[in-house]
Amino acid sequence: MKKLKRHLPLLLLAFGLALSNPALSGPKQMLMLMEMLKQNGSLTEAQFQQLKAAMEAEEPPATPSSSPSPVSPPMMAEPAPSETGEVRLSTRGGSIKAEAYDGESSLELTAQIAADAAFYSSDQSDLGDGAEIRYARIGLEGSLYGAWEYGLEADFAGEDIGLKDAWLGYRSLGRSLIRGGLFKQPFSLEEATPSAHQTFMERSLINELAPGKNIGVGMESHDTHWYLAGGIFGEGPNDADDKLDDEGWGGSLRGVWAPLPEKGRVIHLGASADYRNFGGDSDTEASWRIRTHPESHIVDKTNYLLDTGKIKHIDHSHSLALEAAAVYGPFSLQGEYLRTRINIEDYAEPLNFHGYYIAGSWFITGESRNYDIKQARFERITPRSNFGWGEGRGAWELALRHSYLDLDDQDIQGGRQSNTTFGLNWYINPNTRFMANYILVDTDPDASGLNNNPKIFQLRGQYDF
């Protein structure tokens, strides 16, 4: 006891150093210190064993590990969702998305900007070289209270602001969506695929016969290998539609079967139907008109190569489209046939207009077109490597398309035209690409009665998210 008192200052000093220095505060270091005190006579054997037993009793059980775990700094607990009004922000995919902590509501910003330049070579007419902002779209989409979804988009390109989408929908049973407002009628694979994800700068000639976007209500659903959508629609947001004086009302239906919807391997087969009643009466003369340029948008808007003129006394029309597509690795093939029949009070037989296109593409760098069965359409291309990152070169795609449209029937001479388009696409990253199209046009005859066969070279730079 006297020895313990004599060495008590040394013992307290040793324990104080051990507590103040983390390197000396481990169990092994403390045991070595106690051994030294015992050898110096500051601790008896009984006292040493008593302290050792106390240390072993207080030491937490060891966890099996091949190496000692690093000491982690203390973490502050994240506040519970009910304790904060903040939202999660993400920029995945180049977009900006805000989502509530409970996952019930979200808001995502979308945009598409495209600048075009075109050069025309024609002996018969001046189509007008030039440049333009083809798209300047900003939109919002997301969810509300879990089951509700919405979409809103406007295009600021050109002189006027155009509303492109404005709808509210309800998600039922997880895979079905019921919505109302302004959106695309379910019709045609090419029409369903967003312009930002098209292989060529412009859609094919037959797209002039597709119904496009109108105000209505519709429902769509899908499973692993099928997609079905339908709806009833009135007029679009622009009453001064170039195609119709009185759009009346109508309905459309699209069904798709995809026996092979895998990544890099796709087989897609589908059909669409559209019916429209123009609601004409004795006081109203409903009329219908199709006029179109070659597959280029910059061309002088007053110079139409195909034009049916106004066809009056329209009663109703119906259209049928067949579609097919296949993807095998870097190769893809896609085609559609479309026929429109117009019933007119003054004609014993209905008018029939029709057209088709077939297109193929090859990714030289090995990518594949991305297919989405949820909407039965093609989506954004993802390059294997982004240009500018180390050895990245982006994705390169060669494409070829032939399209044909016939607007001649009975005494309506709207003309016949076929376009052959060669395309080259360079995808810098998933959001940025450059496009080049060279188009050979064959018109027999055009709206002015001439055999106008211009050649078109056009370029585009595009960014979207």
Do residues 91 and 98 make contact, with C-beta atoms less than 8 angstroms apart?
no
**Residue 208 belongs to some domain of the structure:** yes
180 pairs with which residues across the strands? 168, 217
Do residues 225 and 257 make contact, with C-beta atoms less than 8 angstroms apart?
yes
Give CA angle at 213 (207, 216), nearest 5°.
140
Provide the 3-class DSSP secondary structure of residue 368. Answer: coil
> Is pLDDT at 119 greater than 90 in this prediction?
yes
Averaged over 175-200, what is the pLDDT? 96
pLDDT digits (tens, 9 = 90+) for 309-338: 888 888 889 999 999 999 999 999 999 999
Do residues 250 and 288 make contact, with C-beta atoms less than 8 angstroms apart?
no
To 10 degrees, what angle do helices 27-39 and 8-20 make? 160
How many domains does the chain fold into? 2
Judgement on whether residues 218 and 297 belong to the same structural domain of the protein: yes
**Residue 92 belongs to some domain of the structure:** no
Judgement on whether residues 124 and 35 belong to the same structural domain of the protein: no
Judgement on whether residues 311 and 414 belong to the same structural domain of the protein: yes
Q: What CATH number is attached to the domain comprising 389? A: 2.40.160.10
**Residue 82 belongs to some domain of the structure:** no
**Residue 240 belongs to some domain of the structure:** yes
**Residue 167 belongs to some domain of the structure:** no
**Residue 96 belongs to some domain of the structure:** no
Full residue range of the structural domain in which residue 31 is found: 2-48
Judgement on whether residues 37 and 119 belong to the same structural domain of the protein: no
User: Which residue intervals of 40-188 are DSSP H helices?
Assistant: 45-58
Burial (CB < 10 A; 0-12, 13-18, 19+), residue 223, is exposed
Residue 291 or 48, more confident: 291
Judgement on whether residues 221 and 367 belong to the same structural domain of the protein: yes
Q: How many residues does the chain have?
A: 465
> Is pLDDT at 288 greater than 60 in this prediction?
yes
Residue 173: which pLDDT band, with cuts at 50, 70 and 90? confident
Judgement on whether residues 18 and 125 belong to the same structural domain of the protein: no
Which residues does 215 contact at the CB level (< 8 Å), separation at least 6?
181, 182, 233, 234, 235, 236, 237
DSSP structure class, residue 281: B
Judgement on whether residues 44 and 190 belong to the same structural domain of the protein: no
Tokens 């040493």, located at residue: 48
- Final residue in a domain of this structure, among 48, 66, 85: 48
Do residues 125 and 450 make contact, with C-beta atoms less than 8 angstroms apart?
yes
> Is pLDDT at 260 greater than 60 in this prediction?
yes
**Residue 21 belongs to some domain of the structure:** yes
168 pairs with which residues across the strands? 150, 180
Out of 91-105, 275-289, 411-425, pick the least confident: 275-289
Averaged over 98-127, what is the pLDDT? 86
What pLDDT does 25 receive?
47
Judgement on whether residues 20 and 126 belong to the same structural domain of the protein: no
Residue 293: which pLDDT band, with cuts at 50, 70 and 90? confident
> Is pLDDT at 287 greater than 70 in this prediction?
yes
**Residue 98 belongs to some domain of the structure:** no
Q: Mean pLDDT for the chain?
A: 83
Q: pTM score, two decimals?
A: 0.77
Judgement on whether residues 335 and 236 belong to the same structural domain of the protein: yes
